[in-house]
Structures are given as C-alpha cells and as structure tokens.
Amino acid sequence: MAKIKRNPKRREAIQKFIELYQPESVEDIYESLKDMLGETTLQMLETELESQIGYPKGDKPEAALNSRNGYSTKVLKSKAGAVPINVPRDRYGEFEPKVVKKYQTDISHIEEQIISMYGKGMTVRDISKHV
C-alpha cells in the first residue's frame, strides 16, 4: 500500500486547529467545524458588504451614502447541524449577499467546499475571495 503524501500547509492548519479548539472527541471536532463554518461565512458576508458599499469597516468616508447598519441573526442548516450567524446589514437595505442569499438557510452544498479549502491551508480571506 502506498504512503499518503501529506501537504505541509494542511498539516500546519490542522495543528493550529487542534491548538485552538483542543478537541477531545469526534463531537468536539464537529462543534469546532460548525464554529469555523459560522466564522468563515460571517467573514465572507462582511467582505461582500465591504465590496458593495465601497469602504472597509471603521473607515466611513464623508462622501459615502450607504453605511453599515448592524446585524440580523440567522440559523443555517449544515451537515454538522444548526449554525447561528450574524448577517451584516446596510442602511438602505440594498445588500444582496451571494454566499448565503436572503431567505436561504441550507448551506450543505458550500460547507464541504469551505472545509476542503481550510484543509488545503487557505485563509479566511482567501476563501472569501475564492467563493
């Protein structure tokens, strides 16, 4: 049987995962993955909003018409279970997210892609740009 080649970046990402979450069982791993999925989805949504309104968080130019307006909560259904997230809003309600569309709650199709990208050593920012 051939030896499986390990990607050093993947191994490093897994080491960081273990250090951060310190899982002791398979259930702990799933809970950690749900947490990572929620955080990644939030980061992607915030990046989308930043792209739409044209400036980064905390840096509102005087000429900007639209601005951030807090968050609304949403519970996503994934293969690992329910994942609560906060969806960023804009003042005029023009923000149409592409990662998790309005009224969409089932994200099982994108979940595997995000976990795979994490496993390959991609950062949250890289994943946001890719998706």
Task: Give domain status of residue 74, yes or no.
Answer: yes
Task: Give domain status of residue 110, yes or no.
Answer: yes
Structure tokens at 24: 């002791």
pTM: 0.74
Task: Give domain status of residue 61, yes or no.
Answer: no
Residue partners of 108: CB distance under 8 A and separation at least 6 = 77, 78, 79
Radius of gyration of the chain (CA): 17
Task: Give domain status of residue 15, yes or no.
Answer: no
Task: Give domain status of residue 59, yes or no.
Answer: no
Structure tokens at 6: 């390990």
Task: Report helix, strand and coil shares of the chain as percent, to nearest 5.
Answer: 45, 15, 35
Task: Give domain status of residue 89, yes or no.
Answer: yes
Which residues constitute the domain of residue 93?
Answer: 28-53+67-130
Structure tokens at 61: 């130019």
Count of domains in the chain?
A: 1
Task: Give domain status of residue 102, yes or no.
Answer: yes
Task: Give domain status of residue 95, yes or no.
Answer: yes
Alpha helices in the chain (DSSP H): 8-21, 26-53, 108-119, 124-130
In tens, the pLDDT along 42-99 reads: 999 999 999 988 888 888 777 778 888 899 999 999 887 899 999 999 999 999 998 8
Among 32-46, 99-113, 115-129, the range scoring the smallest mean pLDDT is 115-129
Tell whether the model's pLDDT for residue 126 goes beyond 80.
Answer: no
